[in-house]
Amino acid sequence: MEKVLEKIKVWIVILVVVVVSMIAFWGIFLKDKGIWKNVVPDFEYGMQIEGARELRYVPDNSEAEKYVYVDENGAIKGEVWKDGSPKTAEEEAKSAEENADVENTESETEEISYAKEMRSIKVNSDDKLTKENFEKTKKLIQKRLKSQQIPQYNIRIDDVTGKLVIETANDDTIETVENLIASAGKFQIIDYQNGLVLMDNSDIKKASVVSSNTDMYNTYLQIEFNKEGAEKLREISTKYVEIKKDEQTENVDEQQEGEEDNHEEETKKKYVSIVFDNTTMMTTYFGEEMTAGILQISVGKARTEQEEFLEDYQSAKRIADILNSGVLPVTYQLETDNFVKAEYTKENVNDLKMVAVVAIAIASIILVVRFKKNGVLGAILAIGYIATLSIVARYTNVVITENSVIAYAIVIIMNYIFVKMLLKMLQTQEIVQAYSEVMKKFYLVTIPVDVIAIVFTFSKYTTINSIGMVLFWGIILNVLYHFILTRNVLKKQK
């Protein structure tokens, strides 16, 4: 009976290995809207294999005539808005739609101490175009890309002309990359009545995203201000409010005798506009004094679908990351967007796959010839390990690069050595003792590889990180895979 159970266990393990291998090498196909689709994700390939997008930027040299407020030192304190509109003529229609609930309001009646001048304003003034600012811009962009977890990019900048080149993966992250570079990151709270800037980036301590999902999904950009900013916000929240004014009116009711004086309240609202990169996020007034130094700005609409909510959340997260990185000293505009061909063709990839298949076949034959029955099981288990590693790599976002292919070869060879050592031990020992001894010897020798895996995994560079990720998951899987399957299948060779 015991032998029968052991055979059943062996066949179950073999069946599991076969199923896992079929999933890894062929996939799982399900019908979706009449079309068969593979639901197993594909590998994420690096730019060397998949190709890349090369985005070339130049400093924005545009300028425009603007009517502005200036202080006694000539510093600009804000634009003089007309008709309460914070936008350009092309955007007025959109602004009107966004601020449909904002009541018409007259220009600020209190005297403004700043002079008004018509000036020609450059997007990048000449004093901004310096080597120091170019280098600072590069570092801020790198910080944004890292915060948004863009896995693959190369960035270089000409510290004389300021020309910026970004190479990034040709995938769905390209739009995010473009937004991160195009955004100056300028945040302002502006008096809606006259255009004076009340607060800006210098008042911000930290930006984050919060959400609620009681009945519907809501996303908010949360701005936490520093000490000075918190005090400014408190003062603003007491000034830009709904102002109530008593007005006595006489209302004659023909159905009643006598006269009755009624007092009605006339209200006037003073608004502020919250502006990010010259686009109004919200125009509002305050209903209470803001003493906590925190402001929440609604992003998107109340959502019922989680997919739409995630889009709003990602948009808010992108703005928060931009604000936390700081304002770019130099504003850029896209000059060219080119596709860069991969260094390796499909034929090269197919040739490499063929070499791998031949190598695995030869290794399997060696195990079978030398260890007979245990060799067959060892070969099957070794192939199952490769298949399982393939699936794990897809679901853990491991990027397949030229270097990670070498790392794959290393962990597969390590696994083959482990299996071979175990099969050799089983010629004279029982599985429990053999497995224990091999584990001690094998992982003592591979400690340097473990250290490299951990260090490389936390690198910010994809070419290095991909090596670390493959080594890390390869080693973890080796431990779990052989503990769960191998030691329960192999027996002492008779």
Give residue limits of the domains in the chain: 2-47+344-489, 52-248+263-340
Tokens found for residue 87 = 């936008």
The CA-CA-CA angle for residues 188, 192, 71, to 5°, reads 65
Q: Rounded distance, CA 130 to CA 157, Å?
A: 12
Residue that wins the pLDDT comparison between 84 and 488: 488
Instruction: Look at the pTM and tell me if it is higher than 0.75.
Output: no
Residue that wins the pLDDT comparison between 266 and 470: 470
pLDDT > 70 fraction of the chain, expressed in percent and rounded: 88
Contact predicate 106/149, CB 8 Å = no
Task: For residue 97, give the DSSP letter.
Answer: H
Q: What is the pLDDT of residues 412-432, one digit of tens each?
A: 999 999 999 999 999 888 888
Task: For residue 271, give the DSSP letter.
Answer: -
Q: Which CATH architecture best describes the domain 52-248+263-340?
A: 2-Layer Sandwich (3.30)
The CA-CA-CA angle for residues 411, 415, 418, to 5°, reads 140
Q: What is the pLDDT of residues 131-160, one digit of tens each?
A: 999 999 999 999 999 899 887 888 999 989
Band the pLDDT of 104: cuts 50, 70, 90: low
Question: What value does the mean pLDDT take over residues 3-19?
Answer: 84
Band the pLDDT of 110: cuts 50, 70, 90: low
Backbone angles phi, psi at 70, to 5 degrees: -135, 145
Strand partners, 30: 37
- Of 2.40.420.20, 3.40.50.970, 1.20.1640.10, 3.40.710.10, the CATH number of 2-47+344-489 is 1.20.1640.10
Question: What value does the mean pLDDT take over residues 66-71?
Answer: 85
pLDDT at residue 84, rounded to an integer: 40
Strand partners, 276: 187, 279
Query: How does strand 115-122 pair with strand 35-38?
Result: unpaired
Q: Rounded distance, CA 298 to CA 277, Å?
A: 17
Question: What value does the mean pLDDT take over residues 246-270?
Answer: 52
Contact predicate 14/120, CB 8 Å = no
Query: How does strand 52-59 pair with strand 332-340?
Result: antiparallel
Q: What is the pLDDT of residues 121-132, one digit of tens each?
A: 888 988 899 999
pLDDT at residue 247, rounded to an integer: 43
